[in-house]
Chain A
């Protein structure tokens, strides 16, 4: 966490970046990251309906459950992800934010699975850990909304 925060502080000194947490799983990570970040910054959140839940509700296009509160025009936006996997969600966010004319858009992720990427050319500038193809719970990661509260990250055995 300290290393990620130091990298962000170096790159965004005097720029007051807007850290955007992608709910829900990144909640714990963005909280810790914000507390470790020694430069002035602001926080905002966005939530997209995941594919599975949207399908159950009959929606065939992505839905924004919670949009940004802040106007990001001319701002430096740093999207905070729990994990970047296929890159589909992050790709959507980057494209959607770019239409609002921010000064820059980058992403920081706690976990990364680059070998599962379907969408390349994503601005994933800061990566905590490249992880194997395991299921994680705790530290904000869930299984059917459970286990998010666990303070540490755990590998879930096959079930």
Chain B
């Protein structure tokens, strides 16, 4: 994608994060700016397995904030296209009820972008 990745100070991870979208990069930069420790896709949650125990469906939220014990998932899809992601999130909450996760929709990200004057141009 050719995103210009800065040096992060609050990032906790051994490998440089490989963001999937400009929105993820900007979210990381905001967290870093305010000194909130963050991790990128540190855990993949198994949602479905077949009879042989093979994973058939999984979900890796974009960010984890260890101090908040909170996962964050960003989606830049249109509201009408997020049904599949919502279903995954519902499964995750059913199977991992102790996991705290927040989903930020496109409109939420646009509001945050306006608030923080982010550059989300792809």
Contacts and interface: CB of A to CB of B under 8 A. Distances in A.
Contact of B34 (A55, A62, A120): A62
Contacts of B70: 118, 120
B117 A91 contact: no
Interface of A: 50-56, 60-62, 85-86, 88-89, 91-92, 95, 116, 118-121, 133, 135
Interface string B1-43: 0000011010000000000000000000111111110000000
A51 B68 CA distance: 21
20 contacts: A50-B117, A51-B116, A51-B118, A52-B116, A53-B117, A54-B33, A60-B7, A60-B29, A60-B32, A62-B35, A88-B30, A88-B36, A91-B34, A116-B111, A118-B31, A118-B70, A118-B102, A119-B36, A119-B68, A120-B70
A92 B32 CA distance: 12
Contacts of A54: 33
A34 to B, nearest CB: 27
A89 B34 contact: yes
A61 B32 CA distance: 7
A92 B34 CA distance: 7
A59 to B, nearest CB: 8
Contacts of A61: 9, 32-33, 35
Interface residues of B, number: 26
A52 B118 contact: yes
B117 A118 contact: no
Most buried by A among B67, B108, B117, B118: B117
B72 interface: yes
B76 interface: no
Contacts of B65: 118-119
B33 A118 contact: no
Interface string B28-69: 011111111000000000000000000000000000010110
B112 interface: yes
Given A118-B65, A118-B72, A88 B117 contact: no
A91 B65 CA distance: 13
Contacts of A92: 34-35
